[in-house]
Chains A and B, each alone.
Chain A
């Protein structure tokens, strides 16, 4: 790895001869600085893995996204010419360890990014010795291994982590998400699920509109449902009579006498997957409200 870096430096040196502007930028100390870099490289090998790739000539600096820079300070400026970037690259190397980490995917672009960030500094002082001491208005952050340090990417990383946390919560809520991996698949599942739920609601409301005239007769029975939520685990042998007797003692939302016909809904809900255990309600097919007590429900409201 050392060798490759040194090779590249030599390549740079050769290039330097080609482009005199480069020298201008570095000042007359250009050569010496390069030598300094080499000696520096001799000492610190690990940290400079990332500098394997050198900036390319040409306008590669359009994608400023991904802001990975070697420094904790960051200035977004458009890069003018490639020579500047080379100067910046060299100045980057002069940074002592800690700030330079193993690079991730977008190596070359990140390098460009680095240069653009360093460009501001190079403008201020071309000859930089101990670049550990930076301008006071920048925030110095120790980066973790393999991660960038500037506040933009930090903020972005925090944001990304928040988003992935929420995706995990959603995974619990939406059935069938566990089998799919990756954000895209999960998002697909979620979208399908929401759409299917909305369609169900539409369909049911259509049914309801058809049945509406008959609704009035049975509305009173519905009140019983409201109270099922209050029921905790009941013993097996709950009889209809006892239930009705209990219900009568409840405060009711609706006036008038309540007709306590037991709900004999044998429907399977769309959430049939969430079967509850050992509840007598299921024998009476009140799996409706058992589903309400599943664990993911509590997760729901703690999402925020």
Chain B
């Protein structure tokens, strides 16, 4: 039995703790979010904690934990510029990315795809300022980080209930 415990002790550390990016991300995320929430809690002990501020913290933690990605920069920008609970600067008002004009013949299908790409660009923070290829790769990373974020948030919520 003790042998087992010792073995488990040995196995507990991952050989390369930083190799798993997702683990690193989650670690960073939680380490950003939890103290921030704590601070929020302490500062505003009354019911001032709106959903907006929490969302803000959540997004901030996301952006800070994923700084190797372009979208996180944009997200940070957005967050820092919209500290007040006004409408965030949705970049949909900016000049949209000029995508290829579709041919007339295959026109409809191409147009659809272009439209969808544009929609996708709107979803991604800063997506409208990137070109299509860059956007596609960033979207993949963004999706992963969002997934990890939801996992982390779920676990936080679960624990407090």
Contacts and interface: CB of A to CB of B under 8 A. Distances in A.
Interface of A: 63, 65-66, 105-106, 109, 159, 162-163, 166-167, 169-170, 173-174, 183-184, 187-188, 190-191, 193-195, 197-198, 200-202, 204-209, 211-219, 221-222, 225-227, 229-235, 237-238, 242-243, 245-246, 249-250, 253, 263, 265, 267, 269-271, 288-289, 291-293, 296-301, 303-304
18 contacts: A65-B100, A105-B106, A166-B136, A169-B140, A191-B119, A197-B150, A201-B146, A207-B157, A216-B42, A229-B22, A230-B12, A230-B14, A234-B8, A235-B4, A242-B4, A265-B159, A267-B154, A292-B22
A270 B112 contact: no
B41 interface: yes
Contacts of B23: 229-230, 289, 292
Interface in B48-104: 49-51, 53-55, 58, 100-104
Contacts of A183: 113
A25 to B, nearest CB: 28
Interface string B98-123: 00111111100100110011011001
A190, A243, A271, A296 — most chain B CB neighbours (10 Å): A190
B155 A194 contact: no
A190 B158 contact: no
A105 B4 CA distance: 68
A208 B37 contact: yes
Given A205-B55, A225-B155, A265-B155, A218 B160 contact: yes
A229 B17 contact: yes
B5 A245 contact: yes
Given A238-B8, A246-B8, 13 more contacts: A173-B140, A183-B113, A184-B116, A191-B119, A204-B153, A208-B54, A233-B11, A237-B4, A242-B9, A265-B159, A292-B148, A298-B21, A300-B140
A238 B10 CA distance: 13
Given A194-B139, A234-B11, A300 B159 contact: no
B159 A216 contact: no
Interface SS of A by simple majority = helix
B142 to A, nearest CB: 7
A214 B40 CA distance: 12
A230 B38 CA distance: 25
A212 B133 contact: no
Contacts of B58: 201, 204-205, 208
A149 to B, nearest CB: 19
B15 to A, nearest CB: 7
A233 B26 CA distance: 19
Interface string B13-31: 1110100111110110011
B155 A195 contact: no
Nearest to A296: B144
Contacts of B147: 197, 270-271
A191 B120 contact: yes
Contacts of A215: 37-38, 41, 156, 160
Given A174-B143, A246-B8, A303 B137 contact: yes
A122 B106 CA distance: 30
Contacts of B148: 292
Given A230-B17, A230-B23, A187 B153 contact: no
B140 A216 contact: no
Contacts of A173: 140, 143-144
A292 B149 CA distance: 11
Contacts of B160: 208, 211, 214-215, 217-218
Contact of B140 (A212, A237, A303): A303
B39 to A, nearest CB: 11
Contact of B21 (A169, A237, A301): A301
A65, A170, A212, A218 — most chain B CB neighbours (10 Å): A212
A204, A289, A297 — most chain B CB neighbours (10 Å): A204
A215 to B, nearest CB: 5
Nearest to B143: A173
Contact of B157 (A162, A190, A211): A211
A280 to B, nearest CB: 10
Nearest to B150: A200
